[in-house]
Amino acid sequence: MALRLRDWLISRQRYWGTPIPVLYCEKDGMVPVPDDQLPVELPYDVEFTGREGNPLSRSKSFVEAKCPKCGGPARRETDTMDTFVDSSWYYLRYLSPRDEARMFDPEIAGRWMPVDQYIGGIEHAILHLLYARFICKVLHDFGLVGVEEPFQNLFNQGMITRFSEKSGRVEKMSKSRGNTVSPDELIAEMGADTERVYTLFVGPPEKEAEWSGEAVSGAYRFLTRVWRLLERLPEAPPTAPADAALERDTHAAIQRVTQSFQRFSFNTAVAALMELSNSLGKALEEKTASRLRCEQAFDALVQLLHPPRAHPPGRPGGRQAARPGGGGRHGR
C-alpha cells in the first residue's frame, strides 16, 4: 500500500482534536505524560479571537505544567491530532469500550476482526480509510491485532448536491457553499422518516444526486399513503376471487427488497415498496383481495420499510463500519 500521509493531520494549528500527551522541559527535553495523568483534556478557557496561530497556545492553564521527571516547569504540546486520526481505530474500541487499561482487548479483536463492510464517502479513500488502514498495520506490527487490513469490503457512497447561490452552479452540499438544507426544519415539518425515505430513494447510493424539495414531498405522500392503507384494511372483504394476485405482489416485493438491500440499491428497494403499496391500495379499492391477504401484504410492507440490520450474505452477525461524523450522504 502506497502511503501519502499528510503532516497537517498532526501539526495543524487548531483547538479541536485529541491533545498529544507530551511535555517539553528545558532540563529533560521531551517527556511523555505519565499514564496516571491521562487522558489530557482540552481546556475550557480558550479564547477564539481569530488571530493567527493556535488558540491552545494562549491558554496558560493548559500550556503551563510540571515536568514529571524533575518537577520543574514544563510546556505542554499544543498541537492536536485531527479527527481522521482519532477515529481511525474506533472499530477496535467499539469491541471493548469499557476497558480502562488498554485501548482495546486484543483477544476480542482477534475474534471479531476484520470488519466485513466499510461504507464511506469517496473523500474517505484518501483520508479516513487511508489512516485506518495505516494504524491497523502499525497495531499488527505491535502484535495487537492479527490482521493487516481492517476492512474486507469497501462501498463508496455518492454525494448530495444542490444549487449554490454563491457560485451559481450545482455543487455538493457544504456550509461554505451556503447550499445546505436544515434537517431540523424538514423533520419538524414532515418527520424523520420522510427524510430517510427520500435520501434512500433519491438515486443509486454510489452516484451523486441533486436535492429536490418537490421529491421530498413525494416521500411524505408515500408514507402518508401507507398510513391510510392501515386505516382502510377493515374495508377488505372476508374472501375475494383474485386473492392470489396480491400474494404474488407481496412475495415479489419481498424478493426485490431483499436483493436490493444486499446490493445497497436502496432506491430500487423503495421503488418496490411503492409498487406494493399501490397493489394493496388497488386491491382494497376493487375488493380483489381478502382482509387476511391485505393484512399480510400490509405487514410485509411495514417490515420492509423498517428492516433489521442486514448481515452480509453467508455471514451471520456480520460487522459493518462507517466513518463517524462523515457519512450521511451529504454523505448519504
Query: For residue range 271-292, what is the model confidence (pLDDT) as tens digits?
Result: 999 999 999 999 999 999 999 9
Q: Which three cell numbers stand for residue 175?
A: 456550509
Kindly give the interhelix angle for 183-190 and 213-232, rounded to the nearest 10 degrees.
30
Q: Same structural domain for residues 258 and 201?
A: yes
Q: What pLDDT does 52 receive?
A: 67
Q: Which DSSP state fits 72?
A: S
Structural contact between residues 25 and 76, judged by C-beta atoms closer than 8 angstroms? no
Q: Same structural domain for residues 23 and 137?
A: no
Specify the higher pLDDT residue, 51 or 95.
Answer: 95
Q: What is the pTM of this model?
A: 0.66
Percentage of the chain exceeding pLDDT 90:
50
- Give the pLDDT mean for 23-29: 96
Q: Which domain holds residue 105?
A: 87-157
pLDDT over threshold 90, residue 174:
no
Paired residues of 24 in beta bridges? 30, 75
- Please report whether residue 316 resides in a domain: no
Structural contact between residues 178 and 167, judged by C-beta atoms closer than 8 angstroms? no
Phi, psi of 183 (to 5 degrees): -65, -30
Q: Which of 59-68, 109-118, 163-172, 254-263 has the lowest mean pLDDT?
A: 163-172
Q: Same structural domain for residues 17 and 69?
A: yes
Out of 157, 178, 196, a domain closes at 157
Q: Same structural domain for residues 138 and 230?
A: no
Q: Same structural domain for residues 183 and 153?
A: no
- Give the pLDDT mean for 164-189: 82
Q: Same structural domain for residues 139 and 237?
A: no
Out of 55, 82, 109, a domain closes at 82
- Please report whether residue 332 resides in a domain: no
Q: Same structural domain for residues 16 and 112?
A: no
Residue 329 pLDDT grade (very low, low, confident, very high; cuts 50, 70, 90) = very low
Q: Same structural domain for residues 138 and 218?
A: no
Specify the higher pLDDT residue, 197 or 165.
Answer: 197
Q: Same structural domain for residues 216 and 184?
A: yes
Residue 69 pLDDT grade (very low, low, confident, very high; cuts 50, 70, 90) = very high
pLDDT over threshold 60, residue 105:
yes
DSSP string, 25-61: ETTTEEEEPPGGGPSP---S-------SS-GGGG-HH
